[in-house]
Amino acid sequence: MRGEVLLRSSMLVIVMVLFVAACSSDEPASGPITIETEADFSTRPVVGTFELTEGADILGCSNGTFEDTFDEVTEDLTKLLTCSEPSTGTFTILFDPQDIPGPGDENGPWSILDGSADFADLQGEGDFWVVSTGPDTGMETFTGDIEYTS
């Protein structure tokens, strides 16, 4: 009888530990992020590749491709990023290049507009800058903080 009580108690503790571990995976992931792009400005829409040099473990994405879109009605400039691996889905950054002081040729704020699949609950914002690397090419750097639940 006593052995049966100990076995049931042990099983209850194991179930509780597994439950707590499963619930803790729903905690929001957050932290700093740096995304660096290589852009081809000679094409419309502007396209290129990106790499996360900081925050890849938080986002679950280390690199991918992007495509910029300009909305002529709202004058919003967005960047749709598609991760190569391991996460699936896309997220869209709203950004506003300006001729203001900063580390780049153009600088400004950015924020997460929306996301799909693994990035459905992604939020974040920060600063970005663009540096020309050739007549039709450039590097963009987006730094800031993100938070999401996946």
Q: DSSP assignment of 80-107, as one string?
A: EEEEEEES--EEEEEE--BS-SSSSSEE
Residue 1 has pLDDT above 80, yes or no: no
pLDDT at 8: 53
pLDDT at 5: 47
Mean pLDDT of the chain, nearest integer: 84
Q: What is the pLDDT of residues 24-76, one digit of tens each?
A: 445 568 999 999 999 999 989 999 999 999 999 998 899 999 999 999 999 89
Question: By C-alpha distance, which of 56, 33, 62 is closest to 144?
Answer: 33
For residues 83 and 75, give the distance between their C-alpha atoms in angstroms, rounded to a whole number.
26
List domains and CATH numbers for the chain: 29-148 (2.40.350)
Q: What is the mean pLDDT of residues 78-86?
A: 91
Helix (H) / strand (E) containing 130 = strand 123-132
Q: What percent of the chain stands above pLDDT 90?
A: 66
pLDDT at 21: 38
